């Protein structure tokens, strides 16, 4: 069975701070960062109607999310 990773409550709070700090960037760059609960934060990028987002990346640590944004 595949090993699963979940985000800690502490990292979830840190990721929320990072997501909030980059909120202005989202509209300019066609990016959306959403809280996926215990699975972390997901960065959705390049929305193309009617198919949806072309790129989805999940983060469980705030440093990696910060560096990616």
Q: What is the pTM of this model?
A: 0.82
Flag whether 4 is in a domain. no
Q: What is the mean pLDDT of the chain?
A: 89
2 band by pLDDT with thresholds 50, 70 and 90: low
Flag whether 34 is in a domain. yes
Helix extents (H) in the chain: 9-21, 23-29, 62-68
Tell me how far apart the alpha carbons of residues 10 and 8 are, in angstroms, rounded to a whole number.
5
Our count of domains for the chain comes to 1
Tokens standing for residue 43: 């960065």
**Is the separation of the CB atoms in 61 and 67 below 8 Å?**
no
Flag whether 46 is in a domain. yes
The set of residues, in sequence order, having a beta carbon less than 8 Å from that of 12 and lying 6+ positions away, is 35, 40, 41
pLDDT digits (tens, 9 = 90+) for 45-66: 988 888 888 899 999 999 999 9
pLDDT of 43 above 90: yes
pLDDT of 37 above 70: yes
């Amino acid at each position: 069975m595949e090993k699963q990773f979940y985000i800690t409550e502490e990292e979830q709070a840190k990721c929320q701070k990072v997501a909030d700090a980059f909120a202005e960037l989202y509209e300019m760059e066609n990016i959306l960062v959403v809280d996926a609960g215990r699975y972390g934060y997901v960065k959705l990028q390049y929305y193309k109607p009617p198919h949806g987002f072309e790129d989805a990346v999940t983060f469980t640590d705030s440093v990696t999310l910060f560096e990616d944004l």
